[in-house]
């Protein structure tokens, strides 16, 4: 993580960050990164690039975004994988993830939100109210999305705190009317991007945007396929980090770096080398997204002797599954292709959501997992409510499942480790 010696303090000050609070945040994150990631043994050499990105995630990467803005391009920030990056790329813009994944300024947050609000929503408010997220202060447009009820109502409040919020409506049911709503919303978003950027998006631009995002997702698909091999050639922690970096890094640079580490992992697989010995319990994680720096549960699982081989998560396979077809000669046809891809995302906001269970089954089999750990953030009602039927269905089929509800605090780490160790012992 960036250190106090990094020469970005004037940039942070110009963005309106609270420098003292920001220094404290970076110090804690740096210590956590050292303990969680840099302490691992036998890491692929290609992880050095992603370590560098994380070391500059509040520094050099933010400067790059500001340089893009100075050159006349627009930067968009989002909290959700339903925001179509292809449309942003078609206008020569950049889409970045906004800060969540840790508790910050909770006293201030609870002046705006109920105490029992989802941890992710409270975190997003905390980074803004605590003035420690350079991304939310850098973007030209913050894109919210009406997924769960908590977010819907929270955006009403966020709109009074930030000057540049745009909220996208999302369907709740997967039927013809739901698909049409998503198409209408994506067309409305395209017009907003054109208005803000001053760029008219035509067929050629849209196809270029689709190609750039497809290349990134194809690289992540390649990484995911390599994790299905036993022994696992990369730790779950490092694979999660790569997925997290995908929301921040330059698209082409990230794609090239993922393909480079996949070349290295190919060689490991050919040599029969892995990050853990044969017989290590292979775990599929399923449930809520894990944004930077939400590494607690994956660290608990792997430090307890398991290896995570896949994430059925928005920061994982759910978020990067599928490519967008570039077939079509009109902008409407290409938007329809984008809708086709995003409408397949099986977020827990949908009812019914049977496709998600099918994908969990599919991933458990294809990644040769020994068990599933279903992860829910405290007060995340959609995933908490889905955890029971998903677990019951899997257990009825003989798949071991551990359901965990937690938040971003480290206070329950030892308790979680005890439960995870018992689960790993049971499935060995």
pLDDT value, residue 2? 42
Neighbours of 232 (CB within 10 A): 24
CA distances to 32, 142, 359 from 381, in Å: 28, 24, 20
- The CA-based angle 224-102-405, given to 5 degrees, is 70
pLDDT value, residue 3: 45
How many angstroms separate the CA atoms of 208 and 259, rounded? 20
**What confidence score (pLDDT) does residue 285 get?**
98
Q: Quick one: tokens of 290? A: 């894990």
**Three-class secondary structure of residue 133 per DSSP:** coil
Per-residue pLDDT of the chain (428 residues; tens, 9 = 90+): 444 446 899 999 999 999 999 999 999 999 999 999 999 999 999 999 999 999 999 999 999 999 999 999 999 999 999 999 999 999 999 999 999 999 999 999 999 999 999 999 999 999 999 999 999 999 999 999 999 999 999 999 999 999 999 999 999 999 999 999 999 999 999 999 999 999 999 999 999 999 999 999 999 999 999 999 999 999 999 999 999 999 999 999 999 999 999 999 999 999 999 999 989 999 999 999 999 999 999 999 999 999 999 999 999 999 999 999 999 999 999 999 999 999 999 999 999 999 999 999 999 999 999 999 999 999 999 999 999 999 999 999 999 999 999 999 999 999 999 999 999 999 98
pLDDT of residue 7: 84
| 3-class DSSP state of 239 | helix
What is residue 154's predicted lDDT score, i.e. its pLDDT? 98
CA 168 – CA 170 distance, rounded (Å): 7
Buried b (16+ CB within 10 A) or exposed e, 18-34: beeebbebbeebbebbe
Q: What angle do CA 412, 418, 424 make, to 5 degrees?
A: 130
């Amino acid at each position: 993580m960036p250190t106090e010696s990094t020469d970005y303090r004037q940039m942070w000050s110009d963005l309106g960050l609270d420098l003292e609070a920001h220094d404290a945040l970076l110090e804690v994150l740096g210590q956590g990164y050292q303990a969680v990631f840099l302490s691992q043994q036998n890491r692929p050499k290609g992880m050095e690039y992603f370590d560098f990105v994380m070391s500059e995630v509040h520094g050099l990467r933010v400067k790059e975004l500001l340089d893009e803005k100075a050159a006349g391009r627009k930067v968009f920030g989002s909290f959700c994988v339903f925001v179509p990056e292809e449309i942003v790329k078609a206008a020569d813009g950049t889409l970045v993830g906004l800060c969540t994944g840790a508790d910050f300024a909770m006293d201030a947050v609870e002046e705006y939100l109920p105490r029992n609000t989802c941890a992710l929503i409270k975190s997003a408010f905390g980074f803004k109210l605590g003035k420690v997220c350079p991304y939310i202060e850098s973007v030209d447009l913050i894109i919210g999305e009406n997924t769960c009820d908590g977010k819907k109502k929270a955006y009403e409040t966020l709109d009074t705190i930030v000057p540049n919020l745009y909220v996208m409506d999302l369907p709740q049911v997967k039927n013809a009317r739901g698909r049409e709503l998503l198409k209408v919303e994506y067309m409305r978003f395209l017009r907003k991007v054109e208005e803000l950027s001053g760029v008219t998006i035509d067929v050629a631009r849209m196809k270029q945007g689709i190609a750039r995002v497809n290349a990134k997702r194809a690289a992540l698909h390649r990484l995911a396929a390599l994790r299905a091999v036993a022994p696992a050639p990369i730790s779950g922690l490092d694979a999660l980090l790569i997925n997290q970096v995908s929301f921040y890094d330059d698209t082409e640079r990230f794609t090239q770096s993922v393909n480079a580490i996949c070349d290295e992992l190919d060689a490991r697989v050919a040599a029969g080398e892995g990050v853990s010995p044969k017989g290590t319990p292979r775990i599929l994680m399923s449930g809520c997204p894990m944004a930077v720096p939400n590494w607690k549960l994956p660290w608990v699982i792997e430090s307890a002797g398991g290896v995570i081989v896949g994430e059925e998560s928005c920061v994982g396979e759910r978020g990067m599954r599928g490519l967008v077809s570039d077939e079509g000669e009109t902008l409407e046809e290409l938007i329809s292709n984008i809708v086709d891809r995003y409408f397949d995302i099986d977020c827990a906001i949908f009812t019914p959501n049977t496709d998600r269970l099918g994908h969990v089954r599919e991933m458990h089999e294809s990644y040769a997992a020994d068990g599933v750990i279903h992860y829910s953030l405290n007060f995340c009602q959609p995933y908490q409510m889905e955890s029971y039927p998903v677990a019951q269905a899997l257990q009825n089929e003989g798949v071991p499942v551990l359901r965990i509800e937690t938040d971003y605090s480290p206070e329950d780490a030892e308790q979680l480790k005890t439960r995870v160790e018992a689960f790993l012992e049971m499935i060995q």
